[in-house]
Amino acid sequence: MTYAKPLPVLDPISKPFWALAAQGRFGLQVCTKCKDAHYPGTPVCPNCLSSDQRWEAVSGRGQLLSWATFHRAYWKGFEPDLPFTVGLIRLDEGPLFVCTLVEFEADKLRLDLPVEAVFEKVTDEITLPRFRPSLG
């Protein structure tokens, strides 16, 4: 399987996010001291600076804050997908997440639209989250 788009580089901090994604679960890094949930992962909690953090599977749900539809591919691998839409999502747990939107009707996108994560395995190692309008 050849994947022609950029792929995330796994490092010790981000690896648990991708391990959860491979299981079809959306993960956030959560501080065990102050319970702050955040993405992307960081070496120390951005709220209290504790290094005592772990990754947890969370709801994978949020609301659409904004979106943009691309009609030009800035990376050759995206040409077959044109036009494609990327959304800014406020996750139910608080963090913002930028992600490709799938399974939607363009005229139904609106501010605060409930969305949920779905997952697409693109290589043996990487499963990418996407967001679609919430089905329930």
Residues that bind Zn ion (CB under 5 A): 31, 33-34, 36, 45, 47-48, 50
Pick the closer one to Zn ion by CB: 36 or 93: 36
Q: Which of residues 23 and 47 has its CB atom nearest to Zn ion in the complex?
A: 47
**What is the end-to-end Cα distance of the chain in Å, rounded?**
33
* Residue among 53 and 127 whose Cβ is closer to Zn ion: 53
Q: How far is the CB of 25 from Zn ion (least distance, A)?
A: 22
CB of 56 to Zn ion, least distance (A): 13
Sequence-distant (6+) residues with CB within 8 A of 49 are none
